[in-house]
Amino acid sequence: MKNNVIDKIIDDGIIQRGMTVIVGFSGGPDSLCLLHSLAQIRELYDLNIVAVHVNHKLRAAADAEAMNAANICERLDIECAMFDADCESMARDMKVSTEEAGRNIRYSVFDDVAAELEESGIPRDRICIALAHNADDQSETVLFRLIRGTGVHGLAGMPSFRISEGGYMIVRPLLEIPRADIEEYIRVNKLHPNMDESNEGTDYTRNKIRNELIPYIEKNYNPNIRQVLRRFAEIADCDDSFIQDIALSECDRFLTRDEEKEAVFLDISEIKEYPVPVNTRIITAILTMLDIENKITYDLLLSIHKLIYSENPSARLDLPGGCKAIREYDRITFTADASIIDSMQTPSQSEMELEIDSQILKRGEYDSIISCNASDDNLGAYAAFDFDLFNKAYPGKAGDIVLRSRREGDYIAIAGGSKKIQDFLVDSKVRKNERDNILLVCIGSEVLWILPNEEFANEMHRLKGKFSQNFQINQDTERVLFLEVAEKI
């Protein structure tokens, strides 16, 4: 039993030869077992071990435990970096539990120590952060998440390997070793760990699961419940990894990230046809980019799914951390940047006027229809109408034709009647924040020509725009009102 822990660490190969290992060291049985076992193979595997102890200042014995942790490291001839943290103040500031605040502090400290080691010349890929979670911790985590409510990703439990926020490897060498084996290792090696009495209480949900629920299930339902939960986590992890690989392979096609604006844009035109589990992983990837992955709940994922699959082309959703998800047709913008959110609001009437400084509208009257190619770069976009029909409706008003953005009451003639410009833009799937950038050739409130724009769903409208059905050229046309948009000279 003495070498069972060490043999398992060696067999798994999770700690590689020549690594610098940062050990999260509370001084408790689990972290002491990990630190001591790594010290036993230090020379054989040419390991550089750095213990990191974070004093959370939450219990009366905290300072004494920090001193004991430092003494243990001294006896093992291991460098020990000591840190003090005010978890209660941070928990109040972050509006989280002291447990979550402590976790955030520890992981931040681990990354800081790793960064200092990298700056000293140790390659990043030769640094890892070793945590002492054991097999029983895994079982308790899976059951805790199941009770709280989680998806397949949460049921996969804690991974034996992942990358920290700072980009360093986090490993859990004891994740398959039961707590009983760790306790035996401590006893055989005559070690003296710190003992956290709060772990024996029932003040926290996790403690209740550890000290009450699992023993009750073992006694009354299944004595092997811990192993069952671990196997369940392994199966969930396999399924989750498979779906995750599919989702991540698709992400690059549909995601655009603007680092400067702290925004993520998701094209949902295709993924609306994807299975929900794949889109769940894509959503999770986005929320991770927004640094709110710890706030993910089933209800949150369900709300974002509704945003994707809804028939409503425009919708908005508040996300944790002050972020927003704003859908406009086939694009959802995820952001906490107020300037982006503000730009997606409908402007006031005064803001809708456009300064046309790079384009001008040319008008011309011709005695015959001019045949031209819309792709001719010298000509640019153009439209042609029957001048006499126009002049009958608007006598002498050809000079009043203007190029502008939309206004309330604008309409365009269509076959069999007319249509409000607002309705046309909605039907054409033009995003709300882009509608006031669409240029219109107007006479009063009547729109003669909606200029071409990439926002239009219809390819013809993207290339040539939309023409009024009034004043159409026909076989009786004698004079033509020709309109062209050209570069200003």
What is the structure's pLDDT at 4? 78
pTM over 0.85: no
- pLDDT of residue 361 exceeding 60: no
Instruction: Report residue 328 as tokens.
Output: 């406009």
Q: How confident is the model at residue 139 (pLDDT cuts 50, 70, 90)?
A: very high
What is the structure's pLDDT at 378? 33
Q: How confident is the model at residue 351 (pLDDT cuts 50, 70, 90)?
A: very low
Model confidence pLDDT, tens digit, residues 178-206: 999 999 999 999 999 987 665 554 456 77
Q: What percent of the chain stands above pLDDT 70?
A: 87
210-219, 226-235, 296-305, 441-450, range with the lowest pLDDT: 296-305
User: For 227-232, what is the mean pLDDT?
Assistant: 92
At residue 118, the 3 state secondary structure works out as helix
User: For 265-278, what is the mean pLDDT?
Assistant: 84
- pLDDT of residue 131 exceeding 50: yes
What is the structure's pLDDT at 268? 87
User: For 424-451, what is the mean pLDDT?
Assistant: 88
- pLDDT of residue 439 exceeding 50: yes
Cα 287 to Cα 107, 211, 262, 283, 322: the distances in Å are 19, 34, 12, 6, 12
What is the structure's pLDDT at 485? 67
What is the structure's pLDDT at 370? 36
Of the two residues 343 and 105, the one the predictor is more confident about is 105
Mean pLDDT, the chain, as a whole number?
Answer: 82
User: For 220-245, what is the mean pLDDT?
Assistant: 88
Instruction: Report residue 68 as tokens.
Output: 């004991």
User: For 245-261, what is the mean pLDDT?
Assistant: 76
- pLDDT of residue 291 exceeding 90: no
Model confidence pLDDT, tens digit, residues 60-107: 888 899 999 999 999 999 999 999 888 888 888 877 788 888 888 999
Place of tokens 């002498």: 396
281-295, 305-319, 370-384, range with the lowest pLDDT: 370-384
Beta-strand ranges (E) seen in 402-456 are 402-404, 411-414, 417-420, 440-443, 446-450
- pLDDT of residue 356 exceeding 50: no
What is the structure's pLDDT at 369? 37
Beta strand pairing call for 79-84 and 402-404: unpaired
185: which residues sit within 8 A by CB, 6+ positions away?
A: 1, 2, 4, 5, 33, 36, 37, 191
Model confidence pLDDT, tens digit, residues 14-26: 888 999 999 999 9
Model confidence pLDDT, tens digit, residues 151-164: 777 788 888 888 88
Calpha distance 295→285 (Å, rounded): 13
- pLDDT of residue 388 exceeding 90: no
At residue 417, the 3 state secondary structure works out as strand
Vertex 452 angle, CA 449 and 458, to 5°: 105
373: which residues sit within 8 A by CB, 6+ positions away?
A: 379
What is the structure's pLDDT at 283? 86
170-174, 232-236, 345-349, 444-448, range with the lowest pLDDT: 345-349
Q: How confident is the model at residue 138 (pLDDT cuts 50, 70, 90)?
A: very high
What is the structure's pLDDT at 486? 60
What is the structure's pLDDT at 196? 67
What is the structure's pLDDT at 53? 95
Q: Which domains does the chain have, with CATH numbers?
A: 4-230 (3.40.50.620), 259-343 (3.30.465.60), 352-487 (no CATH)
User: For 194-221, what is the mean pLDDT?
Assistant: 79
370: which residues sit within 8 A by CB, 6+ positions away?
A: 384, 480, 482
Q: How confident is the model at residue 227 (pLDDT cuts 50, 70, 90)?
A: very high
CB 151 within 8 A of CB 284: no
CB 215 within 8 A of CB 136: no
User: For 370-399, what is the mean pLDDT?
Assistant: 68
